[in-house]
A and B are shown apart, each in its own frame.
Chain A
């Protein structure tokens, strides 16, 4: 069964670029959709964007100008880049996957990213 493991820089300064990776174990990208979601401390969930197994993307309009989500099929990895971060981007970031668009069946363990000067 598919398992997701995340990693990336945990502390950033304002204006830097956030970079996170999600590795896929026990499965492949074929036929699946891959999303990033974030959750500010003590708050609810916000969807960031999605990439399909074929590479097509959908982004949240509120973040679209700063976000890039991509797949590296050779490494079975999903990545997230969020540019020009501010303190408002401080959150736990999750990767998630499902067999069709928007269906978040399995989630990674989460990675806390703090933006502070």
Chain B
């Protein structure tokens, strides 16, 4: 199985901050990497697929980059509605696997 490691596991940030979350795969996954946002009590919401393609309707403050084993999700200017847990997921090979999550909290 491909292991997905996210860092940090949690972070505190202020409204307006630029936030970067990192995801590392245990082996190369090309660009078969997705990012999700999950708020308490809600289903995950797809933000980015193909490592850098924005899902329809997702604001452009979210961006993704990377290829191979190292990937990043960046939120350019954190807003109150962005406080949530973020997960990466690889779909290069089965079984599909997720990172452990990064909880973004208000400072």
Contacts and interface: CB of A to CB of B under 8 A. Distances in A.
B32 A46 contact: no
Interface stretch (A24-32, A73-81, A82-90, A100-108): A100-108
A103 B100 CA distance: 18
A58 interface: yes
B98 A45 contact: yes
A61 B95 contact: yes
B44 interface: yes
B67 interface: no
Contacts of B45: 107
B32 A102 contact: yes
B14 to A, nearest CB: 26
Contacts of B98: 44-47
Nearest to B98: A45
Given A102-B32, A104-B34, A104-B89, A47 B95 contact: yes
Given A44-B87, A44-B101, A45-B87, A102 B43 contact: no
Contact of B96 (A35, A62, A94): A35
Interface of B: 1, 32, 34, 36, 42-46, 49, 55, 87, 89, 91-92, 94-101
